[in-house]
Amino acid sequence: MPELPEAETIGRALRGALTGRRIERVEIFSPKMRTPLAPLLTARLEGRRFTGVRRRARYLVADLDDGRGLLMHFGMSGVVRLESAAVPRRKHEHVFIYLDDGRIFRFECPRRFSLLEVSDLPLDGKWPSGFAGFGVEPLSDDFCGDHLFRASRGRKTSVKSLLTDNRVVVGIGNIYSAETLFAAGIHPARCASRLTRAECGRLAECAAGILRRAIADGGTTVSDFRNVDGSEGKFALHLQVYGRAGKKCPVCGEIIRSIRQCGRSSFFCPHCQK
């Protein structure tokens, strides 16, 4: 389930693989997705050349030589592979983009929450207008304790909900919010407006540290996520609380619990997190 480290991992791999490559042909096998894959995708891609790959939040944009951009979001189960035609098409591979080096950019998405479209207008290196509402990048200098402290004032919602709110800070989902809150020693149900400035500082520091380590490990593979070469993200080996309900806390030995927040599971140690 791609969060920021997984999108960044795929983005880095695609930047090396796609930049400079010409698109020879596009095949759409199944148009059904979060927004239906349009024939426009084929028309706007064929004959174009990729000039680079950028990431913002969990989105990637592969820039094209006409100024437009191929916009990608991996939803929950989106996987990109770079393989030759020798490998048979998998059941949920919906799009093939044939490159001039003989490889195929294959887009797979069993749960069909992904997005793949070419911008209507040239982006010319900018972000689509819909990105304007996104919050700060958690690995930028703008993300700090002060930012979280300001964003949390007057918020009646939980700190878990604050951390996963894309308008506050982007790219943090269920896995990395759980790990961040554990590292910071803060209970996920704590009211955001009651956080102290020091706690906000700890949260920002822990979040950035965990995201950096996860990127270095090639992301987290719980079930679906794979890098473009099929390899798994190794950060799963370092998860302290996520998905570990009923097991012992690696720090104090207390049993890790799970609760439901905003229709999602949260994992925490009742002893270490207050």
- Is residue 227 near DNA by the rule CB under 7 A? no
| Residue 95, helix vs strand vs coil | strand
- Is residue 58 near DNA by the rule CB under 7 A? yes
Q: How far apart are CA 106 and CA 86, in angstroms?
A: 13
Which residue of 129, 140, 231, 265 would you call a contact of DNA, by CB under 7 A? 265
CA distances for 223 relative to 2, 18, 89, 173, 243, angstroms: 11, 26, 20, 15, 12
Which residue of 12, 34, 126, 212 would you call a contact of DNA, by CB under 7 A? 34
Bridge partner residues of 80 (DSSP): 107
Q: Toward DNA, which CB reaches closer, 49 or 54? A: 54
Q: How far apart are CA 257 and CA 235, in angstroms?
A: 21
Task: Determine the interface stretch with DNA among 44-52, 79-87, 121-129, 257-265 (rule: CB under 7 A).
Answer: 257-265
Residues numbered 78-97 forming contacts with DNA, rule: CB under 7 A: 91-92
Give the closest residue to 205 by CA, choosing from 154, 269, 148: 148
Which residue of 88, 154, 246, 253 would you call a contact of DNA, by CB under 7 A? 154
Which residue of 161, 180, 220, 221 would you call a contact of DNA, by CB under 7 A? 161
Q: How far apart are CA 19 and CA 256, in angstroms?
A: 45
Positions that interact with DNA (CB under 7 A):
1-3, 32, 34, 57-59, 73, 75-76, 91-92, 110-113, 130, 154-158, 161, 164, 166, 173-175, 258, 262-265
Please give the positions annotated as active site: 2-3
